Structure 1
């Protein structure tokens, strides 16, 4: 990804109890984004939120099983993000997906071979 226009930020909303098989949904999404060669992905854990169910999800001190909101943010060129969205349409526990244009002010100049763990981008 280069500096400038044409980049997008994809946000995928879910919750931490969303599981596919025996795996957290957010992990699966990040792994698929990595396999698709997208520039970068980050998972954010919310402290409070609600969605379609209108139930407010929050961290409660003595709860063993939180159902906190999770957001997967993925950045790359818009066409690649649109294609990726289609490739995850089989995952039914995904909530809202948004896409917005962003201007990349600084992109990593490091190649995949130089990245830590053999393939992560900054």
Structure 2
């Protein structure tokens, strides 16, 4: 599978405790991305962050949070990422999605 050189990066910011249909939201999003044929998705767990409530979430022992920040990154063609975005609407009750144009230099094996 090849991603065009000019692609779109979607970053989805959610909390670790967010859920959809009884499973972690990050898992539901990654599985939906796979089901719809996107090139790939990566979940990154942050050691510290805050969102719209300004409540601090951290891994520090004295302030241990069970709702650490997560970022899901998806890179694919503009058309595929934009077609995926409406599928997030019923899944996300809160969170943030950012989009940016990216240049893909390499994907998979060549030759």
What is the TM-score normalised by the length of structure 2?
0.88
Which range is displaced more, 88-97 or 39-48? 88-97
Match of 2:31 in 1: 31
Deviations 1:98-117 (A, max 9, x none): 1111100101138xxxxxxx
CA shift for structure 1 position 93: 3.2
Match of 1:51 in 2: 51
Deviations 1:30-64 (A, max 9, x none): 00000010001000000111111111111133777
| Structural RMSD (CA) | 1.9
Deviations 1:62-118 (A, max 9, x none): 7776110000001100111111011121013340101111100101138xxxxxxxx
The aligned length equals: 109
Q: Secondary structure at the match of 1:84?
A: helix
What is the TM-score normalised by the length of structure 1?
0.81
8 Å Cα contact 2:4-2:77 kept in structure 1: no
Within 5 Å, give how 1:78-117 maps onto structure 2. Answer: 78-109=78-109
Match of 1:11 in 2: 11
The runs of at least 4 consecutive aligned structure 1 residues that moved more than 4 Å come to: 62-65
Unaligned ranges ≥5, structure 1: 111-122
